[in-house]
């Protein structure tokens, strides 16, 4: 709803501008003259609206390359929604304007934009100070880059809820008073049945348990098959312990002499007998109650912080890569591993979607204006709001998670609209002035600045409703979109005029097919047929 309103806003704003220029603020316009105004409106902004829709679809469509299913689905269906909004804007909006042609209401709507013109007048003055604008933009970019470097990625699912919610409070209590709610599992696999009853691998697993609890304070418990075997060993030698308390049987049998055996080959059958005598459920630790070939190590962690979980996971990987007995392999799973993997996918998909979006925007804009310089201008105007967005996230400690990862594609998809409408309006007015650059910026800002501001405000307010959500990712998404709309619209109205006035790129005055028949200013009521 918020994004799709943009196309109708641009069409209606252009329509009312033409209606006002038809004389007496649009009063007394006949039906035939009104049809000419509608035709001129569509010929003036129709192609710009189409290009804006294409680039917006590219921005959202870039999310389709994400490895995270909800993000991918969001990109696909939003892309379809934008296309539908474009069709509605170019078909339904002109039809409604034609059907409800009411001159009195039109005149009132025209007069309501006076306040907006005052704001645009202030914005227009900025373009007269290119050096100051350049320095300010440079400082903003530096500050934004420094803020971007502070961004932390990933977020625990429980942190998606406000601290006042029962979900967060319950999880917090469990983390503080139990072994924790986050789990990490390591599956150790042997090559044959009974290979996980070998003392050598069991000793290695036992050493790993000690290492992990000693190194990471958030690891509260490491449960494995070794705990069961050690407990059985103690019970089986209860009499010896009663006679001599200094003898330790809380261990994995590894010394044949201590157990009255001849060699190490007999230790494996001994451990298998222990498991057979237990005759209990060992499914949570092994795949077989007598001859296990797979053993599970369950790690309980009392933190949901993704950075801490990632550090523990790295410690597990480093230890097994260095100490795992030859002939065995391991795999990692668990809720903590899933959250860490989602974090990795977020970062990867963010980079891919940004690069893909910028590349598509460059190609579309460059082809439309038949100039690579036009594509570069578009990319630069998009890069600045993106950097500001990431910089603010870094300074405010807003993590890059599933929700905020979508902001960049939304920013590109929507922000490109402002840039395209400004560039096409600037080129149209410049050609109408026979290539004379003086006053073009002012006319462009006063002409297309209104729909750009209206669009930015409507989208910002549209997304701002989710600021009141109890779901933290949606709150962050609403705040970031609100900021992005502000920066994207201001970037188009400040950076582009300065760049165009300073460098006067030739693509703005090149006559091409998309620039023909776009002179849409209607100087007077009696000249409508001449313009047509």
The predicted pLDDT at position 415 comes to 76
Three-state secondary structure of 94-134: HHHHHHCCCHHHHHHHHHCCHHHHHHHHHHHHHCCCHHHHH
Pairing state of beta strands 329-333 and 294-301?
Answer: unpaired
Q: 275 burial class (0-12, 13-18, 19+ CB within 10 angstroms)?
A: buried
CA–CA separation, 28 and 103 (whole Å): 7
> Residue 446 has what pLDDT?
85
Q: How far apart are CA 208 and CA 224, in angstroms?
A: 10
What is the per-residue pLDDT for 243? 83
Q: Which of 340, 343, 347 is nearest to 148 (CA)?
A: 347
Given the structure tokens 């599956």, which residue do they identify?
187
Q: In 10 A of CB 191, how many CB atoms? A: 9
- Alpha helix stretches (DSSP H) within 149-283: 166-177, 199-215, 225-236, 238-243, 267-278
Residue 26 is predicted with a pLDDT of 59
Q: Please give the structure tokens belonging to residue 281.
A: 């459920």
Say which residue the tokens 């669009």 belong to: 455
Q: Say if residues 17 and 47 touch (Cβ distance below 8 Å).
A: no
3-class DSSP state of 295: strand
SS3 (DSSP) at 359: helix
Q: How far apart are CA 420 and CA 487, in angstroms?
A: 15
What is the reported pLDDT for 207?
A: 94
The arrangement of strands across the sheet holding 219-223 comes to: 219-223, 294-301, 182-189, 329-333
Task: Phi first, then psi: give them for residue 309, nearest 5 degrees.
Answer: -65, -40
The CA distance from 196 to 419, in Å, is: 64
Nearest-angstrom CA–CA distance, 284 and 217: 24
Instruction: Note the pLDDT of residue 30.
Output: 78
Dihedral angle of Cα 31, 37, 42, 45, to the nearest 10 degrees: -160
Cβ(408)–Cβ(480) below 8 Å: no
**Helix locations, 244-301, DSSP H:** 267-278
What pLDDT was estimated at residue 150? 92
Residue 415: name the closest of 374, 447, 446, 460 by CA. 460
**Helical segments of 324-469, H only:** 335-369, 372-395, 407-432, 440-464
* HSE-CB of 482 using CA atoms within 13 angstroms: 13
| Tokens read off for 380 | 């630069």
Q: Measuring CA to CA, how many Å separate 438 from each of 11, 64, 394, 427, 508?
A: 26, 44, 41, 13, 14
Q: Could you tell me whether strands 219-223 and 329-333 are parallel, antiparallel, or unpaired per DSSP bridges?
A: unpaired
Residue 435, pLDDT score: 83
Q: pLDDT digit string (tens) for 331-359?
A: 999 888 888 888 777 777 777 778 887 88
Structure letter (DSSP) for residue 165: S
Burial classification of residue 247, based on how many CB atoms lie within 10 Å of its CB (0-12 exposed, 13-18 middle, 19 or more buried): exposed
pLDDT at 102: 52
> pLDDT below 70 — which residues of the chain?
23-28, 102-115, 279-280, 510-532
Neighbours of 464 (CB within 10 A): 15
The alpha carbon of residue 165 and the mean position of all alpha carbons in its chain are separated, in whole angstroms, by 25
Q: Among candidates 52, 63, 155, 57, which has minimal Cα distance to 406?
A: 63
Picking from 221, 184, 220, 225, the residue whose alpha carbon sits closest to that of residue 206 is 225
d(CA 511, CA 437): 16
């Amino acid at each position: 709803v918020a994004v799709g309103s943009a196309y109708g806003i641009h069409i209606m704003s252009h329509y009312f501008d033409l209606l006002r220029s038809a004389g007496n603020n649009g009063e007394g316009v006949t039906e035939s003259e009104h049809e000419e105004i509608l035709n001129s409106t569509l010929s003036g902004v129709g192609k710009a609206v189409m290009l804006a829709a294409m680039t917006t679809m590219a921005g959202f469509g870039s999310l389709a390359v994400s490895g995270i299913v909800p993000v991918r689905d969001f990109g696909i269906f939003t892309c379809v929604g934008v296309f539908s909004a474009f069709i509605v804007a170019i078909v339904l909006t002109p039809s409604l304007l034609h059907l409800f042609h009411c001159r009195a209401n039109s005149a009132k709507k025209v007069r309501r934009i006076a306040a907006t013109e005052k704001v645009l007048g202030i914005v227009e003055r900025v373009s007269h100070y290119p050096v100051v604008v350049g320095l300010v933009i440079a400082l903003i970019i530096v500050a934004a880059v420094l803020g971007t470097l502070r961004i932390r990625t990933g977020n625990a699912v429980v942190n998606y809820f406000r601290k006042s919610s029962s979900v967060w409070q319950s999880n917090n209590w469990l983390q503080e008073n139990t072994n924790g709610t986050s789990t990490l599992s390591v599956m150790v696999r042997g090559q044959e049945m009974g290979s996980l009853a070998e003392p050598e691998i069991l000793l290695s697993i036992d050493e790993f348990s000690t290492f992990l609890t000693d190194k990471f304070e958030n690891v509260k418990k490491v449960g494995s098959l070794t705990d069961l075997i050690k407990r059985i060993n103690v019970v089986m030698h209860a009499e010896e312990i009663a006679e001599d308390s200094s003898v330790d049987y809380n261990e994995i049998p590894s010394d044949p002499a201590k157990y009255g055996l001849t060699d190490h080959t007999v230790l494996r059958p001994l451990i298998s007998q222990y498991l057979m005598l237990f005759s209990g459920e060992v499914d949570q630790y092994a795949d077989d109650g007598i001859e296990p070939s797979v053993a599970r190590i369950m790690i309980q962690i009392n933190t949901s912080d993704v950075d801490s979980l990632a550090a523990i996971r790295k410690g597990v990987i480093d230890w097994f890569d260095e100490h795992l007995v030859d002939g065995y392999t391991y795999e990692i799973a668990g809720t903590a591993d899933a959250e860490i993997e989602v974090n990795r996918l977020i970062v990867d998909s963010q980079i891919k979607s940004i690069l893909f979006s910028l590349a598509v925007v460059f190609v579309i804009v460059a082809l439309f204006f038949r100039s690579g310089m036009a594509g570069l201008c578009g990319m630069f105007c998009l890069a600045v709001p993106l950097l500001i967005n990431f910089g603010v996230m870094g300074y405010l400690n807003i993590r890059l998670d599933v929700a905020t990862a979508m902001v960049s594609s939304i920013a590109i998809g929507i922000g490109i609209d402002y840039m395209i409408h400004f560039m096409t309006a600037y080129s149209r007015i410049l050609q109408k002035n026979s290539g004379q650059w003086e006053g073009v910026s002012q006319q462009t800002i006063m002409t297309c600045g209104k729909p750009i501001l209206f669009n930015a405000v409507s989208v910002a307010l549209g997304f701002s409703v989710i600021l009141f959500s109890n779901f933290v990712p949606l709150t962050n998404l609403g705040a970031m979109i609100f900021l992005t709309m502000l920066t994207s619209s201001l970037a188009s109205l400040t950076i582009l005029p300065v760049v165009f006035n300073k460098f006067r790129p030739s693509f703005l005055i090149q006559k091409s097919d998309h620039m023909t028949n776009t002179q849409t200013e209607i100087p007077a009521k009696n000249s409508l047929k001449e313009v047509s």
